[in-house]
Structure 1
Amino acid sequence: MKKILLVVTNIGHYKSGLETGLWLSELTHIYHLAKEKGWEVTIASPKGGGVPIDPESLKPLVLDKISRSYYENPAFMSELNHSKSLLEVQNEDFDCVYLAGGHATMYDFPDDLIMQNMIRKQYESGKMVAAICHGVGGLINVKLSDDTYLITGKSMTGFDWFEETIARRKREVPFNLEASIVERGANLKKACIPMTSNVIVDGNLITGQNPFSSKEMAKVVAKELDK
């Protein structure tokens, strides 16, 4: 049985006070597929406990059937809001460490030292590291044992700056995620059409560009884990 760790944010607001949080579909699709396959799923966050959900991800135009079913499931919501802390799970073995997104992750993912250490060990052991949308911000400061950045020279994707314009969050985000990825020397691969599904596999690193990649991302992760 595969063991998968789904990492989510604890942050509920931008510095301006505007609400943000986890982008729900970026968790629910991988969670749903993992449960269907009978995998052991652990939800964790930097601090543990409550996980705010970005209200934008709950709007009718973006809240898909699977995400809605989980949002309306009291047992799932209780599990989500009683997430384990990374400190609690840092010494456990997982087949995949998956960083779910949402703008909020730009605040608590990039500089979390426990997360960085877990990702480094996971990657260097040849096990899967996956991240979607703004969750890839949790990869940008991860250094390997040879002191090089994990994403340097890697093909990957993430929420780009033009998509940030479409989302009307350029003035809210704490940094430019696309620029940070490029600065680290990664080979950023963007979808030809913004806000469409795009998943990139580079060895045991899998990244998805945006919320619209959630379904494909889950399928790709499952396919790679089943090899």
Structure 2
Amino acid sequence: MKVLIVCTNHDSYPSKTGKTGLWLNELTHFYDCMVKRRLLVDIVSPQGGEIPMDERSLDLKDEINLQYSEDQAFQFKIKNSLSPSQINAGDYRLIYFAGGHGAMWDLTDHKGLQEITQKIYENGGMVTAVSHGVCGLINVRLSDGTYLLQDKYLTGFTSMEETLMSLVSEVPFYLEDVLKERGAHFTKSVIPFIEYIEMDERLITGQNPNSAKKVASKALEELFEK
């Protein structure tokens, strides 16, 4: 069984000097759960090639981040990610969109990634995402033309969390607002930044970086224990 993880290639803010990109533990915590179940994991990004890391997320006190900073196979994958044209959607049972603010610029409108997501979902596979990675699902349409997210229960990075990160002036949109505009039923934890996931059949989403491991655990439970 194969799993596909989607990461951003975008590394800059419109005016802020610090670098954005992938939020590291949204990848490592999910990846670690999958590898421990001996699943084959591929990493794809809109352009392929190297995946930039949000500099604020490089926390090596996090044991899983530290472990994968020294894992040569993992490091090769994030420096040489696949491009969407190299992906055969039929090979995968699960797709996962990792976040980090960079995702908001290059995952929201990528037609190739949308088609891969649609095919995996319509083949009976699972669609999962965490935090800003949920933006990769906003424009995914099913074969009948409806949006994947319409009438689905989900979560993602909240407007309150965006405000607390002091990045409101930089982001292209509020994820929570756009998800609601798509007709999704948006749920969230009462307290910002605590672990929280939402599930709607074969769609599993996590609110923030602290939710990545729980998204992975729930996805594995659905895949193997039902």
Query: What TM-score does the superposition give when structure 2 sets the normalisation length?
Result: 0.95
Query: Does residue 6 of structure 2 align to residue 7 of structure 1?
Result: yes
Gap regions ≥5 residues in structure 2? none
Deviations 1:53-81 (A, max 9, x none): 00111146xx5211122123343222211
Question: 2:96: which partner in 1?
Answer: 98
Name 1:216's counterpart in structure 2: 214
> Which residue is 1:25 aligned to?
25
Where do 1:61-210 residues align within 5 Å? 64-210=62-208
Q: Aligned-residue CA RMSD in angstroms?
A: 1.3
Pairwise CA distance, 1:191: 0.8
The answer (yes or no) to whether the contact 1:156–1:206 under 8 Å persists in 2 is yes
Gaps of 5+ in 1: none
Distance 2:143 2:216 in 1: 29
- Moved beyond 4 Å, runs of 4+: none
2:90/2:120 contact within 8 Å kept: no
The residue matched to 1:141 in structure 2 has which SS?
A: coil
Shift of 1:123: 1.4
Cα separation, 2, equivalents of 1:91 and 1:154? 22
Specify the alignment match of 2:39 in structure 1: 39
The Cα offsets for residues 176-213 of structure 1, whole Å up to 9 and x where unpaired, read as 11110000110001111110011111010110000010
Identical columns (%): 45
Which sits farther off after the overlay, 72-81 or 171-180?
Answer: 72-81
Do the aligned residues in 2 keep the contact of 1:90 with 1:114 (CA within 8 Å)? Answer: no
The TM-score normalised by the length of structure 1 is 0.94
Q: Does the 8 A contact of 2:95 with 2:128 survive in 1? A: yes
Moved more, 107-116 or 215-224: 215-224
Work out whether residues 21 and 105 of structure 1, in 8 Å CA contact, stay in contact via their aligned partners in 2. yes
Deviation at 1:92, TM superposition (A): 4.2
In the alignment, the residues of structure 2 paired with residue 29 and residue 23 of structure 1 have an alpha-carbon distance, to the nearest angstrom, of 11
Question: 1:165 and 1:71 mapped to 2: Cα distance?
Answer: 30
Distance in structure 2 (CA, Å) of the matches to 1:91 and 1:186:
25
Hey, what's the Cα distance between the residues in 2 that align with 1:131 and 1:121? 16
In structure 2, C-alpha distance between the alignment counterparts of 1:21 and 1:72, rounded to whole Å: 20
Q: State the distance in 1 between where 2:127 and 2:71 align.
A: 28
Give the residue type in structure 1 aligned to 2:182: R
8 Å contact kept, 1:107–1:174: yes
Q: Which amino acid aligns with 1:104?
A: G
Is 1:52 the equivalent of 2:52? yes
